[in-house]
Amino acid sequence: MKSVLQYAQSVLQKQRTLKNRILKSVMGNNVGSDDDVDALAQQIGKSLNVKEEKKGLELLAEWIEKGKAKNILVLCGAGVSVSAGIPDFRTPGTGLYDNLQKYNLPYPEAIFDVGFYRKKPQAFCTLAQELWPGLMHSPTLTHSFLKLLSDKGLLLRNYTQNIDGLEHLAGLPVDELVECHGHFRTASCINCRKEADGEKVKETIVEKKE
């Protein structure tokens, strides 16, 4: 099995061109150059009272490898799933909110609005058929790295904004994962709150397309 340092080096090699895109999805338009990761690493280094010559992801990986960084907390946004083929929300042209014209929504966010769902549930159900975990999309290198941190006992918690379930599919334990916006594994009635069988809901939406 690869060490954390070796794994980080492979991430650097395979995903360097995606770095700014992922950072922008997490930090907004405040990311402007390749120096941002180095600046972030320096800030973390100060909090750990560590002085090193290396920069960026290589420095972070070395801290993990040497045991200087433990109880790691990871915050994930839509950018970590872009390389799996799932669009983020707000990137002009490719983002989800820019490509919902076929649903005839009053505004893009309505597709996730329970009030709109009560009136026209088919819009969300159709989107759910495309996003349902494990059907069209698989965990990315980033999700695999989170699993590696977990396997090594270094992951304190992963907080994710995503509903794609890729962290769960990658094998993260439920006690280390907080899916802030929910997931597709369970369901309940929006009126009486009674729990429904998740597999039957999947069968209705995905297979029967009702």
Angle between helix axes 35-47 and 19-27 (nearest 10 degrees) is 60
Please give the Cα distance from 56 to 39 (Å, whole number). Answer: 8
Q: CA angle 170-5-169, nearest 5°?
A: 0
> Cβ distance 19 to 41 under 8 Å?
no
Please give the Cα distance from 116 to 96 (Å, whole number). Answer: 18
Residue with tokens 């390749």: 34
Instruction: Supply the residues annotated as catalytic.
Output: 181
Question: CA–CA distance from 34 to each of 16, 55, 199 (Å)?
Answer: 10, 11, 44
